[in-house]
Amino acid sequence: MTAFTEPPKKRLGQHFLHERGIIDRIVLAVDPQPGDRLVEIGPGQGAITFPLLDRHHELTVIEFDRDLIAPLTQAAQAHGTLHVIHSDVLQVDFTALAGDGTIRLVGNLPYNLSSPILFHALDHAAVVRDMHFMLQKEVVDRMAAGPGSKVYGRLGVMLQAYCRVTPLFDVPPGAFRPPPKVDSAVVRLVPRPEPEIAVHDRATFARVVRDAFSQRRKTLRNALSNVCDADAIAAAGIDPTLRAEQVPVEAFVALANALARDAA
């Protein structure tokens, strides 16, 4: 019998969930349905993996830590069919994984990689049905924030342009071993369906949002001076004297679309 004997690795963000009530709430939130293709990022010692397998019988997991692969594979046999991909999740092509269907992503993510993983998932949003992630609560707050909030910024605008973002519930440090220094939260992201996706040119949109928030205290006119002039901002229906933190997601999308159209 291969056991989980290695101590948790800090550099891989390993904080293993042990609180049954929280695990059950995650499985309930995911609510796997027959035919769903579930993919878990960072299964660790299987805290979410095995309850999901008990419910769904088949699951693909992506784990970077070589030491976890054998014990995970062995322990999974009692629960269902586990497909293990031993890789850095950022190297995994979700579109290929989805085949001719869609995937549903789940994960208690390594917090040091949460933004890169979110953006990687966005790159494959066309094949991602939804995502349920455990993240630092502070990150979830930023993801879901709206204009006027102190934590409204690049992450929230980028994600909300492509996904509906719903914070589900908070999780205290004591639910993990070892406990992280911060509070955590579970969030649901649902990529907007094709007719709802209004961003016409991803690169232009990303540039506008990045520059707009690069210096929060600057007006849009100044912050975007390398991208466009004040007239272009006004033409998109936005007051150029506003600061980025006052501008709603749809307005950024409208401006980026107008700029992309003019450049075409």
**Which residues of the shown chain bind ligand SAM in the complex (CB under 6 A)?**
12-17, 41-45, 47-48, 62-65, 88-90, 108, 110, 113
CB of 59 to ligand SAM, least distance (A): 12
* Nearer to ligand SAM among residue 62 and residue 144 (C-beta): 62
Taken as a whole, the chain contains a residue count of 264
* Residues ≥6 apart with Cβ < 8 Å to 219: 240, 241, 242, 243
Residue nearest to ligand SAM (CB): 42
* Nearer to ligand SAM among residue 49 and residue 219 (C-beta): 49
Spatial separation of the C-alpha atoms in residues 211 and 18, rounded to whole Å: 41
What backbone phi and psi angles, to 5 degrees, belong to 177? Answer: -125, 120
For residue 183, what are its two tokens? 């509070």
CB of 4 to ligand SAM, least distance (A): 10
CB 10 within 8 A of CB 65: no
CB of 9 to ligand SAM, least distance (A): 7
Q: Report which residue type is found at 91.
A: Q
CB of 104 to ligand SAM, least distance (A): 15
**How many Cα neighbours within 13 Å face the side chain of 20?**
0
Collapsing DSSP to helix, strand or coil, 39 comes out as strand
CB of 108 to ligand SAM, least distance (A): 3
Spatial separation of the C-alpha atoms in residues 244 and 236, rounded to whole Å: 14
* Nearer to ligand SAM among residue 23 and residue 233 (C-beta): 23
Biggest CA pair distance of the chain: 69
* Nearer to ligand SAM among residue 22 and residue 189 (C-beta): 22
CB of 14 to ligand SAM, least distance (A): 5
CB of 191 to ligand SAM, least distance (A): 21
DSSP string, 131-153: EEEEEEHHHHHHHH--TTSTT-S
* Nearer to ligand SAM among residue 89 and residue 253 (C-beta): 89
* Nearer to ligand SAM among residue 170 and residue 231 (C-beta): 170
Spatial separation of the C-alpha atoms in residues 142 and 248, rounded to whole Å: 14
* Nearer to ligand SAM among residue 178 and residue 237 (C-beta): 178
Spatial separation of the C-alpha atoms in residues 118 and 90, rounded to whole Å: 10
